[in-house]
Structure 1
Amino acid sequence: MWKISKMKWSSILSAVLTMALVGTLLAACTSGNNNNGGQNQNGGETAPPSGNSPSTNTQTGDDSNAEPTGGLKEFRFTIGSEPPSLDPALSTDSQSYILGLGLYEGLFRLNPEGISEPALAESIVVSADGKTYTFKLHQGAKWTNGDPVTAHDFEYSWKRTLAPETAADYAYMLYYLENGEKYNAGEASADEVGVKALDDYTLEVKLESATPYFLDILAHSSYWPVNKNVVEGRPDWATDIKTLVTNGPFKVTEWQHGGKLVLEKNPDYYNKDKINFDKVTVLMVEEDSTVFNLFKTDEIDWIGAQAGSVPTDQVTQVLQSGEAKVMPIASTYYYIFNTTKKPFSNAKIRKAFAMAIDRQAIIDNVTKANQEPAFALVPPSIRGVEGKSFRELYPDSGYFQENVEEARKLLAEGLQEEGLSKFPEVTLLYNTNEGHKAIAEAIVDQWRKNLGVEVKLGNQEWGTFLETRDALQYDIARAGWGADYNHPISFSYDLIHSKSGNNDGAYANPQVDQLLEQAIASSDEKTVMANIAEAEKIAIADDMAILPIYYYTTVTMIKPGIVDVVSDYAGYLNWVFGDRQ
C-alpha cells in the first residue's frame, strides 16, 4: 500500500500459513469457488483526508448506469482528495487503493487479518524448488467493457509495471519475478521476465528465488491486471469514466472530479453473489470537522481507516461514549528528510531533530488516540517468526532515545561539519489536514524550545504534496506508511532501499541495500528477519534515515445496520464484501 494518504497501499502470511494455503489449493484445484471475503492492501503511503469540495465537473455513463431503485443497499464514506491514480501500475496512495479494492480483482486478495485468499486464481501448482507457480484462472471473469479477463492481461500488466518507460514507483514489488529487476533497469527484455500466459487461462510465474510469502505479494495492487486494448495509447485512460475499464466487483458510474465518485455493483462480476452493496458513494472531503458533521447528519456511514478521520478534539468524547472504537494497526507515522540537501544531508542533524521530540506528549495532547511512540520503521503488529511479532524479536528500544542535551550537541556538531554558522531556513511540509497541522505545529514548537531552531510550516493538497515529495522539492515532510502485506520487508525495502520508488527521502546506504537484497533472496525466514532487523537498525540508529513519531491506531465510527465493514490489520477500510441490513 501504501502511502498513508500516499498509500502505501498491506500484510503478509507467515511461511507456514502460506504453504498451508498452497496445500489447500493443490488439494482442491478443481473447485470453482473462491473465498473473496477479504481485501488486498496497497501498502503504502497513508494520509488522513486531503481533498477538495464537490465541483460541477461531472462525468456520467449512459442510461444503463442509472441508479437502482427499490431496496437499494448503499454504502457511503469519504476520502480526502481526488484519487491521484486509478491505474494499478501508478497508484501508490491509500485513497486510490481503497477505491481500487472495489474496481480491480487480482489473483489473490488479503482478508481483514492480512491472510491471502484466492480471488481470480482458481488453482495453483508450485514446483518442488518453490520458484515456479502455475495458476489456473477463473474463466467467468469479464472486464466492464465485456472482454474476458485472461492470463494475457496479467502478463501484459506485470510487464507494463516493470517497463522502464512506465516509471512505476512500485516496480520493485515485481523484482521477485525472474529478470524483473533487470528488465526494469533496461538490462533484459520483456520476453525474459518470469511471467507468461501459457494459454488464455493458464499463467506461469517464475521467481528469482523461492519466496515463502509470494501469495501475499500477489494481493498487492501492482499485480492487478489491466486491459491491454484499453490501456495502450491512452496515458490518461484511468482518469476518465469514458475510458476507465476495470474487472472488479464494482464499476464507476459517476465521477465528479474533486467532488465524489459513485460506484455500482458490476453485473458482470464473476462472483457477484458475494457482493451485497448495490451502490457506493464516495465523497471527497478535506476537513475532518466536515467529515464528522456528515456522519452526525446521516450523510455517510463510516469514519476511519483512511476513509475520513474523527477530529482530534472529538476523539476522547466519542471513545468515552462508545460511539467509536480504537485499534492498533500496522502503520507508522513519521517525517522524512531530504537527504540530498543541506542541512538534512547530515546524519547528526537528522538525529538531533529525532531526539528532540517528546512523542508521548504529542500522543497525549494532540492525537489522543492511544498511539504508541515509534523509534523505528516496523510497527508492533507485523509478524516475525515462531509465533512472535517482529518487534518482540527485535525491539526498537535500542535504536535511539529522546534526549534534548544530546540533540543539542549533535546539532552543533552537524552544523560545524556542514560549515554552517547558524541553522538555515527550512520548511516542514504536510498535506492539508487538521490533524497533520496540529502535529506539525506541536513538533515545530518542541524543536524551537529544545533546539533553538525555527522551522516554517507549509501545506499542499494531497496530489500536489505527493508530487513535491517525489521530486525532492522539500526539506522535511510528513509521511505515513501502511503495510502492503504482513511482513517487515514491506516497511524496510519499501522505505530505505535506494532503488525503492517509495524512498522519498533518497536515503542510500550500500550496506542496508545489501542486507535487504539478501533478505529478499533468502527462503529461510529466520535469516530474512535477521537481515531486515540489521538493515533497519543501521538506517535508524546510525543514519536516522527517517524520523519515526508513532505507530498508528485508527478510530472508527460506523452506522447501525452496516455489517462486515471493518478496519483491516493495516488500517485500511475493508468495505467490498460488506452489507446493509
Structure 2
Amino acid sequence: MKKYIALSTLITSFAYAASPNDPLAAKIQELNIGNLDDPKTLDPANCNEVNCGRILLQLFEGLVKNTLSGEIEPAAAESWKISPDGKIYTFHLRKNLKWSDGSDLTAHDFVYSFKRLVHPATASELANFLESVENAQDILDGKKNPDSLAVKAIDNVTFEVKLAKPTPHFLQYLTLNQTFPVQRKNVEKFANETDHFTAVGRLVSNGPYVLSGRKVGDKVSAEKNKNYWNKDNYYLDKVNFYSITDANSEYRMYESGQLDVTAIIPLDLYKNIQKKYGKEFMNTPYLSSYYYLFNLKKFPFDNVKVRQALSIAVDRDVITKSLLGQGQRALYDFVPYGIFGYTQAKTYWQDWPRAKQLAEAKKLLKEAGYSEKNPLTMHISYNTLESHRKIATAISSMWKKELGVNAIPQNEEWKSLLDKRKSGDFEIIRLGFRADINDPVNYLVQMRSNDPQNHAHFKNKEYDALLDKASYASNLKMRKELFEKAGKILVDEVPLIPMYSYVSTNLMRPYVIGLKYNAMNNYYLKGVYLRDKNKNLN
C-alpha cells in the first residue's frame, strides 16, 4: 500500500515568499513538473540517476554550480583560489550560511561530507569524483582511513582541498550532488532508521527548497527554504516532482492541467503534439548516450566476436529515424556528440554498405561458434517505458532476422533494473547515461577495470593507463588525444553497444517563466515563476 508522508510541523514558506517584478505573476506559485520515475534515494552521496539528481539540485547546494552555458559560478562558496601548482583549492564560504533547520553551516560540514563520500560504509558508486584528492585513492582501495582525506576547515568559513595531482576538471565535479554537504547530526541521528535521514520530516538540507512531502509512485514535494542565503531570488513557493513512467499518462495529465511541464512525449503522438502545441513543444539535444551494456562475466559475452557481431547487426538509423524520429543521432562511441574536447571514434565497419556489415556480423558470430543449428539465446533487460520496450523489440527482431539470435526482452521496474546492474544479474542491460559534467572523463572513467560503475566488468590495462594519463593531463591537446585513444579501445572491444545521442522532448506551459535546461538537461529554479493562466500572456 502506498503511504503518503507529510511534514505536519513544517512552517509554510508562503508567509515569507519573494515575488517576481511582474504584474501578471500568479498568486499561487506552485510548479508541477514531470520527473520520470521515483527517485532511488535523496541521499546526495548515493544518487547516481536523473530522477533523484534533479530534485537534489533544488534541495541542496554545493560549493559551486554550473551556469546555463556550463561555466562555474559561486554557490555556497562566494570565492575560491587555486594554488600555482594546481593542487590546493581554498574555498571561502558565504557568511552566515544556514541549514534548513536554522543551524549554522560551516566549512566543517564540507569536511564531514567529503570524508563521508569516500567512506566504505557510504558505499557510493561515485566516490571516485574525489579520487584526485590526496589519499582518496588509497581510501577507496581500503589502504587508508577516510579521516586521512586531504580536506580541512581552516576556520568556519574557509574550506581547503589538497589534490594529489592537478586535475583540470576538479571544479566541475564540485557542481554534482555527490559533493553536496549533508548535516552530520542529521545523518547520524537517523542512521539506523528506515530511509535513514532522507525521509520527510527528517531531511535537513541547504538548498533553496526543503523536502515537504513524498508519496511513493506519485510525487516528491518541496517548499521554499526560509533559511537559504539567496531565497529572495526564488519565487516558486512549492514544487511537485511527479513520478510518471508512462508517457501517455503524463501527456493526459498535461492536457488536463495537472502538469505544467512534462519530462517526455509519447512516441506515437510526437508529430501530432508538435503540431498541436507549437511554442509549448521543446526539442533540444543534450549530452547523453543510450546504450546496451554487456556483462562480460557471462558466457558468451566474454567473446569479443559475439559482441562485435551483435553491435554491427543493430541498425541505428532505423532506431533513430524510423522508430524514434525525434532528432536522435546514431552513435557508435560511448561518448555522446557535443562533449567538449573529444571527437568520436569510428568503427572499422561503420561506413560499409549495410549488406557488407551484415555479412561481417554473420561471419563473426559463426567464428564464435553459433549457427542455425546452435543459435545464441539471451535476454535483454530494460526498464518500464514504452520507448525502451519498442527499442528492445526492434533490436530483438534485427538480431533474429539477420543473425538467427534469440533475444528475449525482459521488462523491469527501474529500481529492480538498478539492482540487477549492480549485482551483475543480467546478460545485456539497457542503460542511458546523461553527462554529469561536460568532459569525456565523465563517460570513459566508468569503464576502467577498478571503477565501481564498471558493471560490464571490462578490463584492459592499456585503457586504464590512458585514462590515468588523460585525467591529470594539463595539456589540452594531449588530453584530447589520450581520451580519444581510450575511446577507440571501447569501440573496438565493444563492452557496450552505443545506440544514439539523446534529445530532450517535452512540453512546457507558456505561463512557466524562466525555466531553462542546460547541456546536461538539468535545471535550477532561480528566477523561475508562474504567470496567471487567465491573463494575457503575449
Q: TM-score, normalised by structure 1?
A: 0.85
**2:61 is aligned with 1:105:** yes
Cα pair distance change 1:137/1:573, threshold 3 Å: closer
From 417, 432, 437, give the equivalent of 2:384.
432
- Structure 2 residue corresponding to 1:295, chosen from 242, 254, 268: 254
Q: Deviations over 1:46-100 (max 9, x none)?
A: xxxxxxxxx6411111244448489221111122222111111111111000100
Partner of 1:89 in structure 2? 45
User: Relative to structure 2, which stretch is displaced further, 265-274 or 224-233?
Assistant: 224-233
C-alpha distance in structure 2 between counterparts of 1:472 and 1:400, whole Å: 30
Deviation at 1:325, TM superposition (A): 2.4
The 8 Å contact of residues 237 and 244 in structure 1, kept in 2 or not, is answered as: no
Q: Residue 186 of structure 2 contacts residue 197 of structure 2 at CA under 8 Å; is this kept in 1?
A: no
Provide the C-alpha distance between the structure 2 equivalents of 1:99 and 1:433, rounded to a whole number of angstroms: 21
- Aligned: 1:516 with 2:485: no
| CA distance in structure 1 between the aligned counterparts of 2:524 and 2:252, rounded to whole angstroms | 22
1:267 partnered with 2:198 = no
Q: Does 1:504 align with 2:452?
A: no
Identify the range of structure 1 (113-122 vs 321-330) with the bigger mean alpha-carbon deviation.
321-330
> Which residue is 1:471 aligned to?
423
Instruction: Provide the secondary structure at the position in 2 that maps to 1:529.
Output: helix
**Partner of residue 530, structure 1:** 481
**How far did residue 424 of structure 1 move?**
4.2
Give the whole-Å Cα distance in 1 for the aligned partners of 2:67 and 2:419.
31
Q: Does 1:332 align with 2:289?
A: yes
Hey, what does 2:273 align to over in structure 1?
318
Distance 1:363 1:101 in 2: 31
Shift of 1:152: 0.9
CA contact (8 A) 1:522 1:528 kept: yes
Aligned CA distance change for structure 1 residues 56 and 190 (closer, same or farther; 3 Å):
closer
- Mapped partners of 1:399, 1:94: distance in 2: 33
> Which blocks of at least 5 consecutive residues in structure 1 are unaligned?
1-54, 385-389
Q: Which residue, 197, 200, 205 being the options, matches 1:241?
A: 200
Residue 363 (structure 1) aligns with: 320
Cα distance in 1 for partners of 2:469, 2:173 equals 18
Is 1:118 aligned to residue 77 of structure 2? Answer: no
SS in 1 for 2:214: strand
The reply to whether residue 411 of structure 1 matches residue 411 of structure 2 is no
Deviation at 1:262, TM superposition (A): 1.4
Change (3 A) 1:537 1:420: farther
Q: Deviations over 1:486-540 (max 9, x none)?
A: 111111113x112222222121111111110111122222221111111110111
**Deviation for aligned residue 1:397:** 5.9
* Overall identity of the aligned pairs, in %: 31
Q: Give a deviation string over 1:266-296, Cα, whole Å, max 9, x none.
A: 1111110121111101222121000011111
Tell me if structure 2 keeps the 8 A contact 1:129–1:210.
yes
For 2:346 and 2:310, locate their aligned partners in 1 and report how far apart those are by CA, in whole Å: 18
User: What is the SS of the residue equivalent to 1:176?
Assistant: coil
| 1:552 partner amino acid | Y
Q: Which has the higher contact order (CA 8 A, sep 6+)?
A: 1
**Match for residue 129 of structure 1?**
85
Code of the residue aligned with 1:528 in structure 2: it is R
Equivalent residues of 2:58, 2:524 under 8 A apart: no
**Which amino acid letter does the alignment assign opposite residue 256 of structure 2?**
T
CA–CA separation in structure 2 for the residues paired with 1:119 and 1:557: 29
Aligned-pair CA distance for 1:165: 2.4
Separation of aligned partners in 1, 2:187 and 2:346? 44
Q: Which amino acid aligns with 1:138?
A: R
Q: Which has the larger radius of gyration?
A: 2
Show CA shifts across 1:325-383 (max 9, x none).
21211111010001111111111101111000111111122211111100101122111
**Matches of 2:369 and 2:261 in 1, distance apart?**
48
Aligned to 1:578: 528
User: Quick one: structure 1 residues 67 and 275, their matched pair in 2 at CA, closer, same or farther if it must change by over 3 Å?
Assistant: closer
Q: Which moved more, 1:458-467 or 1:236-245?
A: 236-245
CA gap of 1:547–1:238, structure 2 versus 1, over 3 A, is farther
> Shift of residue 398 of structure 1?
5.1
Q: Match for residue 498 of structure 2?
A: 548
SS at match of 2:477: helix
How do 1:389-400 and structure 2 match up within 5 A? Answer: 390-391=342-343, 394-396=344-346, 400=350
Is the contact made by 1:399 and 1:540 (CA closer than 8 Å) also made in structure 2?
Answer: no
**Residue identity in the other structure for 2:431:** A
Shift of 1:411: 1.0
Cα deviation for residue 574 of structure 1 reads 4.3
Q: Distance in 2 between matches of 1:67 and 1:175?
A: 39
Q: Is the 8 A contact 1:164 1:185 kept in 2?
A: no
Change in Cα spacing, 1:437 to 1:279, as seen in structure 2 (3 Å) is same
Q: Aligned partner of 1:532: which letter?
A: F
Q: How many residues align?
A: 512
Would you say the 8 A contact 2:210–2:222 is kept in 1?
Answer: yes
Structure 1 contact 209–523 (Cα < 8 Å) conserved? no
Deviations 1:406-464 (A, max 9, x none): 01111111236xx9972343110001111110111111111111111111111111111
Helix, strand or coil at the partner of 1:566:
coil
Which deviations, in whole Å up to 9, do the C-alpha atoms of 1:86-140 show, x marking residues without a partner?
1111111110001001000100111222222110111212111111011111122
Give, in whole Å, the separation in 2 of the partners of 1:501 and 1:575: 32
- Choose the corresponding residue for 1:381, options 295, 313, 338: 338
SS at match of 1:567: coil
Q: Offset at 1:234?
A: 3.1
TM-score norm. by structure 2 comes to 0.91
Over 3 Å counting, the alpha-carbon distance change for 1:319 and 1:396 in structure 2 is farther
Question: Separation in 2 of the partners of 1:540 and 1:232?
Answer: 45
